[in-house]
Structure 1
Amino acid sequence: MAGEVRTGTGHGLLLVRRSPGAVGRWLRRGLVASTMAPLGAWTGVTVAETAARSAAPYDVALEVLAARPAPRGGRPVLGFFDLHGKAALTLQASGLRKPQRWLVWQPGVGVVETPSLPRLGLPSLVDAAGARGDDVAERVGGVLRGHEGQALDVLVTVLGLLGLPGEDLLVRGDCAGASDVEPGTRGVLMFDRLMADEAQHRAEWEAAWGGPAPGPRETR
């Protein structure tokens, strides 16, 4: 990357417990052009472009990367994202059928409730990060109980308190040893086709029955 600094792509960071080679293969099966870098025991990932390659409304790169299910063998996966001015901390924990959990902080408010998203507790966050020190959870909690500052400030502070790498990727979108990964065209086309088919199914169901269409699990 030769020291190039990305601008205008927003701020986000995934930390994945897999080698860069494995993470690169995973990213090529996704929807987002990404920048990744080896960061010790982790591989860091951020977005390389503002928009994902998929069609709207699934085309906001940061949102797509933040919500993407991680490979089971690469977990725990930690996420640090500035989404719409809010700081989102995410965890995809090791183990089967464990949903992604979220902790969301808003300037002027502090931690906000996310009824539709499983809540991420501080002990789980600290444990997944492998943070050392008896007071780490207390210190992170102190930051999140505060109301001052902006989302990126909170993300950088929490990242540091957890002893995790990747600040340059989070803030600048670049760091030493970083490389870009392009998503495969075939996967993007398949995703767009699937979403279009689901949208058509919902529209047809609502026109015929006057109510929301059942989800995938209800139709199987």
Structure 2
Amino acid sequence: MNSRQPHPTAGADRSGLLLLRGGLSDVSAWVRRGIVPAAVVPMEGWTAVLPEERSFAEPPYTNGGLLLAGRHVPRKLGPGLGFWIVEGRAVITVQTRGRRGIRWVVWEPERGVVTPPDLPVAGPVTLQRVAGAGRRNELVEILHEVYVQPDRLLAAVVAVLELPGAKLLVDASGVADLPGATSVLPAPREVGYFNDAVRDAVTLRQELEA
């Protein structure tokens, strides 16, 4: 995998998979405008983004997977389907071209799918429609499982939706060897903007509390 400069988190565990319909160059440019380093890989009609665990931002905004899961996908890159492991939960995000905002599927071990407060949810029909394929009955059965590891559950969802990248959710160690894989780093300017905005927000809150 090509990289223009040494990667400070090379070899870190990856924490998710984002599949976008945009082309490799457009998706890479979008990653550079963020704060999360990632591998960008063309895959069977999709472009996959595999974030590193740690972002380039200052604490507490260091969880790359979580930050990328909540990042808006531009219309020209969508639709997008994200598969994430967040604090032991399996999380699926859905973004469509025709509807703004992110919809969520949150699954917890021994509980199954839960409804998080204040988050719009997505159902199996939406997942299948955005994926463009899949076996709905099997998808429902998978999401009803409660005794399975989150990464295995996500891999099964990706497979039943006939999407690429299922194996990478269990073991992403071979991503560097995939055809066309590229390591994309955030632009330093974008990271600086983000950190400045966070510091300004903290300062303002402290002043208001005082």
With structure 2 as the length reference, what TM-score do the two structures score?
0.89
Distance in structure 2 (CA, Å) of the matches to 1:13 and 1:179: 15
Contact 1:11 / 1:152 at 8 angstroms: preserved in 2? no
CA deviations on 1:146-185 (whole Å, 9 max, x unpaired) are 2111100100000000000012433333151211001100
Q: Report the count of equivalent residues.
A: 199
The equivalent residue for 2:5 is none
Supply the AA of the counterpart residue of 2:31. L
Root mean square deviation, CA, Å: 1.6
Distance in structure 2 (CA, Å) of the matches to 1:198 and 1:19: 35
Distance in structure 2 (CA, Å) of the matches to 1:115 and 1:172: 31
Contact 1:46 / 1:170 at 8 angstroms: preserved in 2? no
CA deviations on 1:111-165 (whole Å, 9 max, x unpaired) are 1121121111111111000015xxx222111111121111001000000000000
Q: Is 1:20 matched up with 2:24?
A: yes
Distance in structure 1 (CA, Å) of the matches to 2:113 and 2:126: 16
The equivalent residue for 1:9 is 13
Q: Tell me the secondary structure at the aligned position of residue 108 of structure 1.
A: coil
Distance in structure 2 (CA, Å) of the matches to 1:104 and 1:77: 16
Q: What does 1:169-208 align with in structure 2 at a 5 Å threshold?
A: 169-173=168-172, 174=175, 176-177=178-179, 178-207=181-210
Supply the AA of the counterpart residue of 2:183. D
The equivalent residue for 1:52 is 55
The equivalent residue for 1:29 is 33
Q: Which runs of 4+ in 1 moved over 3 A?
A: none
Distance in structure 2 (CA, Å) of the matches to 1:11 and 1:155: 11
Distance in structure 2 (CA, Å) of the matches to 1:180 and 1:16: 16
CA deviations on 1:58-84 (whole Å, 9 max, x unpaired) are 111111111111111111100001111
How many Å apart are 1:10 and its aligned residue? 3.5
Distance in structure 2 (CA, Å) of the matches to 1:168 and 1:147: 20
The equivalent residue for 1:126 is 128
Q: 2:66 aligns with which of 55, 63, 67?
A: 63
Larger radius of gyration: 1
Q: Is 1:146 matched up with 2:148?
A: no
- In structure 2, relative to structure 1, the CA distance for the partners of 1:73 and 1:91 (3 Å cut) is same
Unaligned runs of 5+ in 2: 3-9
Distance in structure 2 (CA, Å) of the matches to 1:153 and 1:50: 18
